[in-house]
């Protein structure tokens, strides 16, 4: 089953994952049209796609996901929606009201537009953080969709993404205006890395400041399983194909799936080192201070920020909840996505690491120059 002849709408089309998904759609599917939806779409991005679009039409929908009329226009005539757009923030720097309006209300408005405009399939980009880790730092090793876990979430990002995921899955099989039924599913992606990952750039910048030694923020035993962006894009494509196929739709519709690949399990810090070591970066052997002291430091910083709140809004660079996430073993298998969706990683760990490291190498001179100017 392919998306040949379909009209595909990609929200967040200019973002880290969105751009990779758009290119994959152009390279592998003979879709009738791909609609690039984002708050701002640069003409240079559209021009960069001309060489691989073939007969597929490219349309730009630039606007606000909180605008229901705009969403109805974007969805009119579409058959598949890939909802990638979201505010991603694990430091709580963004006000909760803004994050809720985009991540939750925006998703709800988009689902309503799909129902009104007879969109048949809706693939939602979720995150491992809707699962946890919880405030206690209870570990999960090679979990799956049936793993029971007390996911008392603390991040505003986690809370809004979980509510948006729940609304998406509840909308499965709702009636369209033309008498058909909407099919939905959600992909809970692990930490996504690859070309364009701003988190990797941030950590590389910190390493440059620290004389090419990466700062250790997680214990070696706190292993997670990051996933390469190219494999995440492939999972989205396979999910859309499955929702279009009547037999697979009956299995996958209304379900969530963990999306990982064969990237070796490692702590966040050790993973950063794995992709940056070829560039000459070392890594600290131990945390700057013992983990317990780190928690006390974060607590003091949080209290100070609360005290300053009446005068100025200050966000601490590190909170206890983020420290817990960085130091909790938390990994999940993609086997159910393989069985139900037919998903299989397109890129091996060796190829994903090579591509990521080469991209970081191209960015390193600019990062050194930027930091030298400061």
359: in domain:
no
301: in domain:
no
Q: Is 337 helix (H, G, I), strand (E, B) or coil?
A: helix
Query: By the 8 A CB rule, do 126 and 186 touch?
Result: yes
Q: Is 263 helix (H, G, I), strand (E, B) or coil?
A: coil
Query: By the 8 A CB rule, do 9 and 80 touch?
Result: yes
310: in domain:
no
Question: What span, in angstroms and rounded, lies between the C-alpha atoms of 180 and 251?
Answer: 18
The pLDDT value recorded for residue 91 is 78
Higher pLDDT, 122 or 248: 122
Higher pLDDT, 52 or 60: 60
The pLDDT value recorded for residue 153 is 62
Q: How confident is the model at residue 363 (pLDDT cuts 50, 70, 90)?
A: very high
165: in domain:
yes
Question: What span, in angstroms and rounded, lies between the C-alpha atoms of 251 and 243?
Answer: 9
- CATH number for the domain spanning 40: value is 3.40.50.720
367: in domain:
no
Please name which of 242, 104, 115 lies closest in space to residue 173, comparing C-alpha atoms.
115
278: in domain:
no
324: in domain:
no
Rounded mean pLDDT of the chain? Answer: 92
Report CA 372 to chain centroid distance, whole Å: 31
Question: What span, in angstroms and rounded, lies between the C-alpha atoms of 171 and 187?
Answer: 15
The pLDDT value recorded for residue 350 is 97
The pLDDT value recorded for residue 373 is 59
Domain that holds residue 146: 7-197+226-262+329-347
Q: Is 265 helix (H, G, I), strand (E, B) or coil?
A: coil
Residue 25 has pLDDT above 90, yes or no: yes
Please name which of 6, 25, 5, 8 lies closest in space to residue 17, comparing C-alpha atoms.
25
pLDDT in tens, 54-85: 888 999 999 999 999 999 999 999 999 999 99
**Residue with structure tokens 């194909």?**
241
CA distances in angstroms from 120 to 123, 126, 134, 145, 261, listed in the order given: 10, 19, 35, 25, 28
The answer for 36, left when phi > 0, alpha when psi is -120 to 50, beta otherwise, is: beta
Q: Is 183 helix (H, G, I), strand (E, B) or coil?
A: strand
Edge-to-edge, what's the strand order for the sheet holding 57-62?
A: 57-62, 33-38, 7-11, 80-83, 121-127, 183-189, 255-259
The pLDDT value recorded for residue 304 is 84
The pLDDT value recorded for residue 106 is 97
Question: What span, in angstroms and rounded, lies between the C-alpha atoms of 26 and 18?
Answer: 12
The share of the chain scoring above pLDDT 90, in percent, equals 72
Task: Clarify whether 257 is annotated catalytic.
Answer: no
Question: What span, in angstroms and rounded, lies between the C-alpha atoms of 67 and 118?
Answer: 18
DSSP state, residue 79: S
Q: How confident is the model at residue 374 (pLDDT cuts 50, 70, 90)?
A: low
The answer for 60, left when phi > 0, alpha when psi is -120 to 50, beta otherwise, is: beta
pLDDT in tens, 298-356: 888 888 877 777 777 777 778 888 889 999 999 999 999 999 999 999 999 999 999 99
323: in domain:
no
Residue 223 has pLDDT above 70, yes or no: yes
The pLDDT value recorded for residue 51 is 79
The pLDDT value recorded for residue 182 is 97
The pLDDT value recorded for residue 348 is 97
Catalytic residue among 96, 100, 149, 157: 157
Among 38-42, 151-155, 246-250, 254-258, the range scoring the smallest mean pLDDT is: 151-155
Helix (H) or strand (E) holding 20: helix 16-28
Q: Whole-angstrom distance between the N-terminal and C-terminal Cα of the chain?
A: 53
- The count of structural domains within the chain is 1
Query: By the 8 A CB rule, do 130 and 153 touch?
Result: yes
Among 24-28, 102-106, 315-319, the range scoring the smallest mean pLDDT is: 315-319
């Amino acid at each position: 089953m392919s998306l040949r002849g379909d009209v595909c709408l990609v929200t967040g089309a200019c973002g880290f994952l969105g751009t990779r998904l758009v290119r994959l759609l152009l390279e592998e599917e003979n879709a009738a049209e791909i609609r690039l939806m984002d708050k701002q779409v640069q003409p240079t991005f559209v021009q960069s796609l001309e060489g691989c679009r073939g007969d597929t039409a490219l349309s730009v929908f630039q606007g606000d996901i909180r605008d229901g009329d705009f969403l109805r226009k974007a969805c009119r005539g579409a058959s598949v929606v890939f909802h990638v757009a979201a505010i991603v923030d694990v430091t709580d720097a963004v006000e909760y009201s803004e994050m809720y309006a985009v991540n939750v209300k925006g998703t709800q408005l988009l689902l309503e537009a799909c129902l009104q405009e007879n969109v048949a399939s809706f693939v939602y980009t979720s995150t491992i953080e809707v699962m946890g880790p919880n405030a206690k730092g209870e570990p999960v090793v090679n979990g799956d969709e049936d793993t029971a876990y007390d996911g008392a979430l603390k991040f505003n990002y986690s809370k809004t993404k979980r509510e948006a995921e729940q609304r998406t899955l509840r909308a499965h099989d709702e009636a369209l205006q033309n008498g058909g039924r909407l099919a939905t599913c959600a992909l809970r992606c692990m930490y996504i890395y690859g070309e364009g990952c701003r988190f990797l750039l941030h950590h590389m910048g910190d390493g440059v400041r620290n004389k090419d030694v990466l700062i250790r923020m997680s214990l070696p035993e706190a292993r997670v399983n990051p996933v390469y962006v190219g494999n995440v894009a492939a999972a989205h494509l396979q999910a859309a194909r499955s929702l279009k196929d009547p037999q697979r739709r009956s299995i996958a519709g209304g379900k969530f799936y963990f999306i990982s690949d064969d990237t070796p399990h490692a702590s966040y810090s050790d993973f950063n080192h794995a992709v940056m070591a070829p560039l000459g970066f070392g890594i600290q052997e131990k945390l700057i201070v013992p983990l317990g002291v780190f928690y006390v430091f974060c607590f003091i910083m949080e209290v100070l920020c609360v005290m300053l709140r009446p005068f100025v809004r200050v966000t601490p660079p590190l909170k206890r909840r983020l420290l817990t996430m960085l130091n909790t073993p938390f990994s999940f298998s993609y086997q159910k996505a393989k069985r139900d969706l037919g998903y299989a990683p397109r890129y091996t760990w060796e190829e994903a690491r090579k591509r990521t490291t080469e991209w970081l190498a191209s960015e390193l001179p600019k990062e050194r120059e930027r930091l030298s100017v400061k």
